[in-house]
Amino acid sequence: EDDGFRTTMLPPADGIAAVVAIPSSPASTAKARTLLPKEVSLSDAVFNISHAALTVAAISSAPELLPSALNDRLHETARRRAMPHSYRLVTALRENGLAAAISGAGSTVLVLHDGTAPQRVSRSVRALASDDFVVRHLAVDCEGVTQR
């Protein structure tokens, strides 16, 4: 049995795009990592594993599942107090039907969408974000970093 990581390329569904809301005062990644619990409940672990799989399916072939897929029970609750502005924005975006999450360790907010109305999504994020955020619309990069 191989204990290493395995990866494969799974292209996103046509049109998948992202909007990010970057706070003017980002949280420290190192500090955010210290806020994670050492142990989690089985139900929260199962929830996150199932939602990770759902996120892959949503991005690759079923974008309509994105709002449900991006829910989290492991890192968002633990880090909420360290990034209150970001979490208020995530909550407001989700209440408006958008697929929102804290990106990585935070505090940038990520919104994924099917690409059919990018300007509408960007306007919605801008309308809900305070002036403390810079909002950018991004294409999904399927190549990543390459070395020549």
Does any domain span residue 111? yes
Does any domain span residue 5? no
Digit-coded pLDDT (tens) for 2-33: 778 888 888 999 999 999 999 988 777 788 88
Question: How many separate domains does the chain show?
Answer: 1
Digit-coded pLDDT (tens) for 101-148: 999 777 899 999 999 998 999 999 999 998 889 999 998 888 877 887
Does any domain span residue 11? no
Does any domain span residue 6? no
Does any domain span residue 89? yes
Domain that residue 131 falls in: 17-30+42-139
Q: Which residue has the higher pLDDT, 26 or 93?
A: 93
Quote the pTM value.
0.87
Q: Which residue has the higher pLDDT, 104 or 100?
A: 100
CATH of the domain at 119: 3.30.70.890
* Residue 90: both structure tokens together: 């995530």
